[in-house]
Amino acid sequence: MADKAKKLNTEAYKGVRDFFPKDMSVEKSIFGIWRNVAEKYGYEEYGASVLEPAELYRAKSGEEIVNEQTYTFTDRGDREVTLRPEMTPTVARMVAARKRELVFPLRWYSIPNLFRYEQPQRGRVREHWQLNVDIFGINSINAEIEVINIAYDIMRSYGLKNTDFEIRVNSRRLMNYIIGEFFGTDEVSIKKITKLIDKKDKMQPELFSIAVRDVFFSARDTIKNPMGGSSSEAPSPDAATDGLLTLLNSGNFAEFASRLPQTVDEHVGLKEVREVIAGLENLGITNVRFDQTLMRGFDYYTGIVFEVFDLNPANRRAVFGGGRYDDLLALFGNEKVSGVGFGAGDVTARDIMETYGRLPVCAAPAEIAICIVGEQNIPYAMDVAQELREKGTRVMVDFSGKKLGDQISNADKRGVAKVICIGDEEVKTGKLIIKDLQSGNEMEMAADKLPGTVDESR
Ligand code: HAM
């Protein structure tokens, strides 16, 4: 009967990854880079459960994430639970919960696994690990400059040069002001147009302008302040659409700014873009570009938003994404605490390191392999191994019973640098030979005089 039963599939669930030891080794070194850089700037690590009440994401994460991408289920106690699709609402919840005890500004980082029901494709999977770096309690632009500096530092640590990647910056505050005040639309239309701009690259240009025009058209009654002028005459939906498209098609920051009336030029949004670019330039970070089409999908961003892109066409997805969110913590009933931060995924990190030939080499599982001839010598070999381990050496013992040649070749295949072969003779004399598999060099040592680390044996 048993062989008639349907065999289980060995494939992982769609869009998630198994990490075999080689993959895990790469993953560990990516996490190592993340931890290293974040801690260099004084950030402390925190963690949380993957399970969150579903309502946490409804208020501010954005419709696409909540309606199309979350894994949500009802638990046995009838609660709606979501596997976290991002960490920002969780960290906001945690900071709000301990606001009185925590010492601000807070510099926190975390490496959570996140779940999004996306169409798996290059750079996008259904479970990924994401470095989150966030600073809380700083209202000045210095917070943005610091977190973007950290993102830059990580890109450099992946092995990329300044000319290999680009940091794109925009201001939600500025765009909301332009769409709302300059074109005089209401809140709902601002949100709709923001979403459309966010999707602009994936849309046909004609469809994009039709969709924008539709929003302006349906907001007709609320459009009051044509093209930033003082007239109370509303711009037609066509004029508003043309005006917005012209702005979106500006080639650079200067051109964009020159198309705005002076009133907008003094707006804090435009000023903060200038300041963040200048602040980064001051740190020698010049691969920063203003991108008026960069919106970011989440509803909670209130100020500067940014993304980092590899310029190699093999990797078209954002490597980092983040920005300022000043209102998120107020959702928990506290006064405002501003937050600025970013997320950076492990998949894109791996892809770009691979593209640039910077994937870390898999570390050998041990420094020494002990090969054994004769089952009776296993206890002695294990004892030798134990002594070496106590001195800090990573040792593996081959008690497979395979031929000696095979044992040595197995050790070599695993990248283990040295072997000690133990047979009757070694047990009798207590004299062991450490052999370097690369150079072929051999060194004889008394078993009770074995060195603490392999390097000392040289
Ligand atoms: P996000 O832009 O959704 O931002 O994600 C940040 C980064 O995570 C992306 O640039 C990408 O590297 C990676 N990522 C996102 N989704 C996937 C996926 N399905 N598969 C593989 N990698 C992915 C956020 O999540 C914000 N909560 C970040 C943030 C922190 N903002 C402020 N603080």
Residue-wise pLDDT for 198-227, tens only, equals 999 899 999 999 999 999 888 876 655 544
Cβ atoms of residues 414 and 406 within 8 Å: no
This prediction has a pTM of: 0.92
Which domains, ranges and CATH numbers included, belong to the chain? 21-355 (3.30.930.10), 368-457 (3.40.50.800)
| Number of the ligand 1 atom closest to the C-alpha atom of 325 | 32
Best residue among 71, 128, 310 to mutate for probing ligand 1, ranked by most atoms within 8 Å of CB: 128
Task: For residue 199, count other CB atoms closer than 10 A to its CB.
Answer: 14
- Output the pLDDT for position 454: 47
Say whether 345 sits in a helix, a strand or coil: strand
Task: For residue 160, count other CB atoms closer than 10 A to its CB.
Answer: 23
Task: For residue 52, count other CB atoms closer than 10 A to its CB.
Answer: 20
| Number of the ligand 1 atom closest to the C-alpha atom of 123 | 21
Best residue among 86, 118, 169, 294 to mutate for probing ligand 1, ranked by most atoms within 8 Å of CB: 86
CA-wise closest residue to 309 among 112, 146, 155: 155
The full 3-state SS of 421-439, as one line of letters, equals: EECHHHHHHCEEEEEECCC
CA-wise closest residue to 34 among 50, 45, 48: 45
Residues of the chain with pLDDT under 50: 226-231, 454-458
| Number of the ligand 1 atom closest to the C-alpha atom of 125 | 20
Residues 6+ apart with CB under 8 A from 201: 293
Which two structure tokens, joined as six digits, stand for 340?
């600025």
Longest Cα separation, the chain? 103
**CA-CA distance, 442 to 435, in Å (whole number)?**
4
Residue nearest to atom 28 of ligand 1 (CA): 343
CA-wise closest residue to 70 among 91, 47, 59, 54: 54
Residue nearest to atom 12 of ligand 1 (CA): 345
Residue nearest to atom 17 of ligand 1 (CA): 124
Ligand 1: which residues within 6 Å by Cβ? 86, 88, 116, 118, 124-125, 128, 130, 132, 134, 318-322, 341-345, 347-348
Say whether 138 sits in a helix, a strand or coil: coil
**CA-CA distance, 174 to 377, in Å (whole number)?**
75
DSSP element (H, E) containing 59: none
Q: Give the tens place of pLDDT for each residue, 134-190.
A: 999 999 999 999 999 999 999 999 999 999 999 999 999 999 998 888 787 888 899
Cβ atoms of residues 369 and 418 within 8 Å: yes
CA of 172 to the centre of ligand 1 (A): 18
Residues 6+ apart with CB under 8 A from 453: 367, 391, 392, 393
Cβ atoms of residues 327 and 302 within 8 Å: yes
Q: Give residue 65's Cα distance to chain centre.
A: 17
CA-wise closest residue to 434 among 399, 393, 402: 393
